[in-house]
Structure 1
């Protein structure tokens, strides 16, 4: 397989899909709910995923596609080449704000992330990486990540996890929030992970994400020395939902050992 061609096609298709999304801003959206009233999907999510599927299947008919909206293949193994696609990560932001959302795309070979792309459509910022070849913001190389301390870090974290909730004991993360320099929440896992890659934030924590939420950004952050696991410090399974913890080197180990070790994640 010519991976340079796959990389080139992926970047081209992501940019084309982004332009289609920008052109939709003046349209009236068809909004539906999925698992709950806050789990939203629009006609643009669906059309964007179908756009990618058409492009990929035309050029790479043997590749499998795992997409959030379910138009891809029934994927029960990461053998071969698999594209993991979230056509709009941050759909609630897309609907309410028309910003703070991204297209996320990862291409994996036998379970190993080869190519990762996250496209901030509104700001025309394409974060991308080809394993072993560096990571870039548009065409500018992103420098490798440096270690950071908790007291000098900004942690991306949803406020839900430090108030009473049904998933975890909310007291567990309060010490981390107290000791960090600050916290932020953007409502899009793909962007929050690439913000770790670029140093805009230093760590990101989420309780439950699907593989398409982080498949693209994981390739980018790992290419720069960042560490991505679940909250138990285990390697991620790209076929099932799990918690997620990504941070700069050193900081990941510190938070895991000093703040997360007692949690029932």
Structure 2
């Protein structure tokens, strides 16, 4: 039988060690490459951090499978078994340009069921963690159940690049929503924005496209404190393929789904 308490402790130690390694690298010259486009960055530190986790996880148990953003893990085609889902640096552009507002995101699923989620805001030294059914925490402080907030009083996480006329369906959905809410914020790191929803710093978060390693841990944090998660059509999030994303406290989530996304036909 898998001992999740021991795995959680080992994972915490690895994440904190990886965070220190990243902080130690800040004065080094970065090797920066692009991936899907000129704004999709990856550095040697992203790659080195993913390799660090893979080595630690495989040493712990060779049967564990790993899905990592930088592609050094396993080829995952099903959710069978124990799968670690990793983003070594979520918010690489922030890492490169700001040296802050980036996070390590690590989640563990067993046969599709969440067992462990960790988001570590490296520069703030904020360690968000959850074992589903046992509470969600920021460092050693247990997170409260999310408060009920109406959309008019909500602050939601939203990247302004989605609200452009050339992206017609996004513009038609999101422009009216922005006019309704109290305010919007964008931090440039999905994992941090999801952690902020779990803590109540944001009341919701919406985006048109993310990968499983961006939201696998944040999903577990938000659900543990009573929030809702899905794609924009209200379907469960995929852990195998990219997805749109809507998360929030129950009222904010329901109001966005019913009033703005009821007829959404995207992914």
Structure 1: gaps of 5 or more residues = none
CA distance in 1, matches of 2:123, 2:13: 17
Inter-partner Cα distance in structure 2 for 1:102 and 1:169 = 27
Residue 166 of structure 1, CA deviation: 3.8
Residue 135 of structure 2 contacts residue 142 of structure 2 at CA under 8 Å; is this kept in 1? Answer: yes
In 2, Cα distance between equivalents of 1:94 and 1:263: 34
1:147 Cα deviation from its structure 2 partner: 1.6
Structure-to-structure mapping, 1:68-217, within 5 angstroms: 68-166=69-167, 168-217=169-218
- Looking at structure 2, the residues matched to 50 and 164 of structure 1 have their Cα atoms a distance apart, in angstroms, of 40
Q: Secondary structure at the match of 2:84?
A: strand
Contact 2:90–2:190 (CA under 8 A) maintained in structure 1: yes
Q: Name the TM-score, length of structure 1 as normaliser.
A: 0.98
Asked whether the 8 Å contact 1:168–1:264 carries over to 2, the reply is no
Decide whether the 8 Å contact of 1:63 with 1:80 is kept in 2. Answer: yes
Change (3 A) 1:167 1:236: farther
Give the drift of 1:127: 0.3
Equivalents in 1 of 2:11, 2:228: separation in Å?
A: 24
Please give the alpha-carbon distance, in whole angstroms, between the structure 1 residues aligned to 2:132 and 2:166: 38
How far did 1:201 drift?
Answer: 0.5
Partners of 1:89 and 1:147 in 2: CA distance: 29
Shift of 1:263: 2.7
**Residues in 2 aligned to 1:226 and 1:10: alpha-carbon distance in whole angstroms:** 24
* 3-state SS in 2 of match to 1:244: strand
Task: Go from structure 1 to structure 2 and tell me whether the alpha carbon gap of 1:15 and 1:167 turns closer, same or farther (over 3 Å shift).
Answer: farther
Q: What is the number of residues matched between the two proteins? A: 265
Where does structure 2 lack aligned partners over 5 or more consecutive residues?
none
Measure how far apart 1:167 and its partner are: 7.0
